[in-house]
Structure 1
Amino acid sequence: MHGPVLVNWLLALLAAGAGTSCLVRLRHSPCTPGGTHGPLTRESDAAEALMGLGMAAMAVTGAAVPPTVWAGLFGLPAAGFLLAAAHAPAGRTHRLHHAVGALAMTYMAVAMAAASGHGHHRAAALGLPALTGALLLYFGGYTLWTGSRLLRTPAGTLAIGTAGLPQACRLTMGIGMFAMLLTM
Structure 2
Amino acid sequence: MHGPAWVGWLLVLLCAAAGAYCLVRAHTGPPAERDAARGEGLMALGMAAMACPASAAASAAWSPWLFTVVFGTAGLWALARRHLHHAVGAGAMVYMALTMVLPPEWWGVSGPPERMGHMAGTVPMGHSAPGGVPLLTGLLLAYFTVYVIAAGVRLVPAAETVARTAAAGGPAAPAGPPGVLRACRVAMGIGMLAMLLAL
Instruction: Please give the range of the TM-score, normalised by the shorter of the 2 chains.
Output: 0.7 to 0.9
**Equivalent of residue 109 in structure 1, options 97, 102, 110:** 97
* CA distance in 2 between partners of 1:122 and 1:138 (Å): 25
For residue 155 of structure 1, report the CA deviation from its aligned partner: 5.5
Instruction: Give unmatched runs, 5+ long, in structure 1.
Output: 30-36, 86-94
**1:9-158 superposed matches below 5 A:** 9-29=9-29, 37-38=30-31, 40-60=32-52, 64-65=59-60, 66=62, 67-85=64-82, 95-114=83-102, 115=119, 117=121, 125-153=130-158, 156-157=161-162
Q: What's the offset of the Cα at 1:116?
A: 6.3
- AA aligned to 1:169 is C
**Identity of counterpart residues, as a percentage?**
46
Cα distance in 1, alignment partners of residues 71 and 192 from structure 2: 14
Q: Which residue of the partner structure matches residue 165 of structure 1?
A: 180
Q: Answer yes or no: is the 8 Å Cα contact 1:15–1:55 preserved in 2.
A: yes
Q: SS in structure 1 opposite 2:3?
A: coil
Is the 8 Å Cα contact of residues 15 and 53 (structure 1) preserved in structure 2? yes
**RMSD of equivalent CA atoms:** 2.5
Q: 1:154 to 1:3 in 2, by over 3 A?
A: closer
**Quick one: distance in 1 between partners of 2:157 and 2:101?**
41
Report what 1:179 is aligned to: 194
Q: Deviations over 1:36-71 (max 9, x none)?
A: x23x41110000000011100010166924222011
**Residue identity opposite 2:181 in structure 1:** P
CA offsets, 1:119-167, max 9 Å, x none? 6x965x4100000000000001100001000111396456744341111
Q: Is the 8 Å Cα contact of residues 151 and 157 (structure 1) preserved in structure 2?
A: no
Ranges of 4+ aligned residues in structure 1 off by more than 2 Å: 61-67, 114-119, 153-163
Unaligned stretches of 5+ residues in structure 2? 103-118, 164-173
CA distance in 2, matches of 1:11, 1:26: 22
Name the CA shift for 1:57/1:100 in 2 (closer, same or farther; >3 Å). Answer: same
Judged with a 3 Å threshold, the aligned counterparts in structure 2 of structure 1 residues 154 and 14 are, in CA distance, closer, same or farther, namely closer
Q: CA deviation at 1:83?
A: 2.0
Structure 1 155/10 Cα, relative in aligned 2: closer, same or farther at 3 Å? closer
